[in-house]
Amino acid sequence: PLNPLFPSPPDWLLEGAAHLWLPYSQMQTTPMTLPAVKTEGVRITLADGRELIDGISSWWTAAHGYNHPRIREAVSRQLDAMPHIMLGGFAHEPAMRLAKRLADVTPGDLAHTFFSESGSVSVEIAMKMAVQYWLNQGKHGKTRFISFRGGYHGDTIGTMSVCDPEEGMHTLFKGAIPQQLLADLPADREKEAALEAFIAEHAHETAAIVTEPLVQGAGGMVFHEPAVLAKLRALCDAHDILLIVDEIFTGFGRTGTLFACEQAGIVPDIMTLSKALTGGTLALASTTARKHVFEAFLGEDPDKALMHGPTYTGNPLACAAALASLELFEEEPRLEQARAIAAQMEEELAPAREISRVRDVRVLGALGVIEVDKLDDVNWFKQRFVEEGVWIRPFRNIIYITPPLVTGKEDLSRLTGAMLKVTREWA
């Protein structure tokens, strides 16, 4: 169907809409998506010239806003020299430099990075690494994973098995694909004891615990104290289980520190990154392991190697973009900006607490959430936000923003103002 927000779409949209299968969309009823033709800073320009302020950084990627000249130049230079070459048998500077940079910026002795092209795949690789870590040491029974209710780690079959099967996006698959061991992230001491018992019971068969640090994102923007993550680290150590921390959403300043696990003072055994890794420009993901994990794959035996190799692993353009993005984190005050966004959101979203049907208002770093009792019509919200000139996409009962970290005061006020206005209208 035509989109009431864009009744006269360009030809290319009219012609392509019948053929492009959209993400997370019921193709029979979903209206045509909005034609975007340009992005700059925190703004998205539509084909008719209208501008939207992006409140969600294109699925949490565009940390420096769009078209940052620094990243554009780095990619453009690399495009001239060598857009791609296979990493099997060849070395190239962007991948080598990026692997080294990631070793420098990630916590502790996380130092050995495997590249892929999407967050889901980087989690798959982390899971495969964890199982093989034990196999390589002759431990054949440790093949399962413990993950958490409310968790989200991707859409592939393997990652779906560590997502929440009840609440998430894959409920239809419940029972149809194997589910890994599911636990509750503890909210209090009593739950902590239950988790301890659960982990003790399953330790002998568990390769790794998989968790999002501090925030369960797509599962409902649920916050957890850093102490919970520290507790998981301690339990993994006590029970010979690896800890996989999925920083795909939280990484690169979203929670106010470069990585969320810094706030718990812990080092995971394996960390996954994607999304803002290239500042929202090219598809790239990383799976970074600590020294002891990497060393379990070393030896004379070729079968002990990690048998994985996506065709585009370490793509030079994407690695060049990521290097430029990391430089920006160093040279520009991104983390201070994230914390300033947090302070402004705390203040500006607070009045939402007075709105009936609002259950909670919470902020962590550059993530602001209004949780309501139940959103009956998410599409109404999406439409109203576009009418207000902002790009905000509520899901389930969550109205949230994850703006680019460079969002200025006025633009941020436009976003929070729209959140309050539209939520009030609805309530």
Active site residues: 24, 152, 246, 275
* 59 belongs to an annotated ligand binding site: yes
Pick between residue 116 and residue 423 the one whose CB is nearest to ligand PLP.
Answer: 116
Q: Which residue's Cβ has the minimum distance to ligand PLP? A: 119
Pick between residue 64 and residue 153 the one whose CB is nearest to ligand PLP.
Answer: 153
Which residues contact ligand PLP (rule: CB under 6 A)? 118-120, 123, 152-154, 212, 217-218, 246, 248-249, 274
* 246 belongs to an annotated ligand binding site: yes
With helix as H, strand as E and coil as C, how does the chain read? CCECCECCCCHHHHHHCCCCCCCCCCCCCCCCCCCEEEEEECEEEECCCCEEEECCHHHHCCCCCECCHHHHHHHHHHHHHCCCCCCCCCCCHHHHHHHHHHHHHCCCCEEEEEEECCHHHHHHHHHHHHHHHHHCCCCCCCCEEEEECCCCCCCCHHHHCCCCCCCCCCHHHECCECCCEEECCCCCHHHHHHHHHHHHHHHHHEEEEEECCCEECCCCCEECCHHHHHHHHHHHHHHCCEEEEECCCCCCCCCCCCCHHHHHCCCCCEEEECHHHHCCCCCCEEEEEEHHHHHCCCCCCHHHCCCCCCCCCCCHHHHHHHHHHHHHHHHCCHHHHHHHHHHHHHHHHHHHHHCCCEEEEEEECCEEEEEECCCCCHHHHHHHHHHCCEECCCECCEEEECCCCCCCHHHHHHHHHHHHHHHHHHC
CB of 248 to ligand PLP, least distance (A): 4
CB of 91 to ligand PLP, least distance (A): 26
Pick between residue 246 and residue 371 the one whose CB is nearest to ligand PLP.
Answer: 246
CB of 149 to ligand PLP, least distance (A): 15
Pick between residue 9 and residue 251 the one whose CB is nearest to ligand PLP.
Answer: 251
CB of 395 to ligand PLP, least distance (A): 11
* 310 belongs to an annotated ligand binding site: yes
* 257 belongs to an annotated ligand binding site: no
Annotated binding site: 59, 119-120, 152, 246, 275, 309-311, 393
- The annotated binding site for pyridoxal 5'-phosphate is made up of 119-120, 246, 310-311
